Amino acid sequence: MNPPRQETVLVTGASSGIGLELAKCFAADKSNLVLVARNTDALKTLAVELRAKFQIKIQVITADLAKPDSAEFVFQEAGRAGIEVDMLVNNAGFGLHGMFHELPLNRQLEILQVNQTALTALTGLFLPGMIERNYGGILNVGSIAAFQPGPCMALYFASKAYVQSFTEALAAELSGTNLVISVLCPGPTETNFGKVARGNKVRRRKLPGMSADFVARYGYDQFRRGRVVIIPGIANKLTVQLVRFLPRAFVRRLVKYFNQQIYRP
């Protein structure tokens, strides 16, 4: 599909990790960017770097996607700046490690707000414009966590199952249009994710992780090719297939064991 003009891509969670690397991939292809996250300084630093390197237009929007009106705010800010968003990358997300009943409920509900509600609201706000123009796409960042329940990270795994189901359904609804709807499902990746998830807990075991750069590049290439479900790496692909055939009770115990092994209270 050929862009009607130089396209604009909005990336949430562009201040670090996979989102920052995805923003770089789009920038390298000369897409203009709208960068969204809470950390304004990190976004501005990235904007300065990418403007200088690729001569593209970049708008920074500071937003806390845990706030209920944040998606509407981002949509309005983009509109005020006269920006038509062609591609939406719903990448912002976080998880918390621990037993559901022991973690602060308010903070856990923010997982649902950022990972599910903001992602859904941004999709609902930006998609009609894409459909009208019959051009665009949405890349949601899910996780291999989507494919099984996640004791000791229960809401995070559940939120990614939602992202998986929602994105695949949307892709089927919009098949036959020029729009690409994809879900990128990384496994363990070297970013700030673990630090946020464990809070004050001590890391007991370090899972070998892919680089955020590799995950983003792979995700970007497959998205541009129109693939709906994007799983980087053979080990992640195998894990996702394996859990489909193992007894569900065994999978629950296995994930609980792994999650308990990683961090110590």
Ligand X SMILES: NC(=O)c1ccc[n+]([C@@H]2O[C@H](COP(=O)([O-])OP(=O)(O)OC[C@H]3O[C@@H](n4cnc5c(N)ncnc54)[C@H](OP(=O)(O)O)[C@@H]3O)[C@@H](O)[C@H]2O)c1
Residue 11 as a binder of ligand X (CB under 6 A): the answer is no
Question: H-helix or E-strand containing 155?
Answer: helix 154-173
Closest distance to ligand X from the beta carbon of 250 (Å): 22
CA-CA distance, 233 to 190, in Å (whole number)?
Answer: 14
User: 156 catalytic, yes or no?
Assistant: yes
> How many residues in the shown chain lie near ligand X by CB under 6 A?
30
Residue placing its CB nearer to ligand X in the complex, 134 or 205: 205
Q: Which tokens go with 60?
A: 């920074």
Binding positions for ligand X, 24-53, rule CB under 6 A: 37-39, 42
Residue 16 as a binder of ligand X (CB under 6 A): the answer is yes
Residue 93 as a binder of ligand X (CB under 6 A): the answer is yes
Residue placing its CB nearer to ligand X in the complex, 209 or 226: 209
CA-CA distance, 256 to 192, in Å (whole number)?
Answer: 22
Residue 123 as a binder of ligand X (CB under 6 A): the answer is no
Binding residue for ligand X (CB under 6 A) from 188, 230, 255, 263?
188
Phi, psi at residue 122, to the nearest 5°? -65, -40
C-beta atoms surrounding 243 within 10 Å: 17
Closest distance to ligand X from the beta carbon of 5 (Å): 28
C-beta atoms surrounding 52 within 10 Å: 9
CA-CA distance, 229 to 224, in Å (whole number)?
Answer: 12
Q: What is the DSSP string of 178-224?
A: SEEEEEE---SEESSHHHHHHTTPEE--PPP-EEHHHHHHHHHHHHH
Closest distance to ligand X from the beta carbon of 3 (Å): 25
Q: Which tokens go with 244?
A: 């489909």
- Name the residue whose CB lies closest to ligand X: 17
Which residues, listed in sequence order, are joined to residue 90 by a DSSP beta bridge? 140
Residue 13 as a binder of ligand X (CB under 6 A): the answer is yes
Binding positions for ligand X, 52-91, rule CB under 6 A: 63-66, 91
Residue 114 as a binder of ligand X (CB under 6 A): the answer is yes
Name the site residues for ligand X (rule: CB under 6 A). Answer: 13, 15-19, 37-39, 42, 63-66, 91-94, 114, 141, 143, 186, 188-189, 191-193, 196, 209, 212
Q: Which residues are catalytic, by number?
A: 156
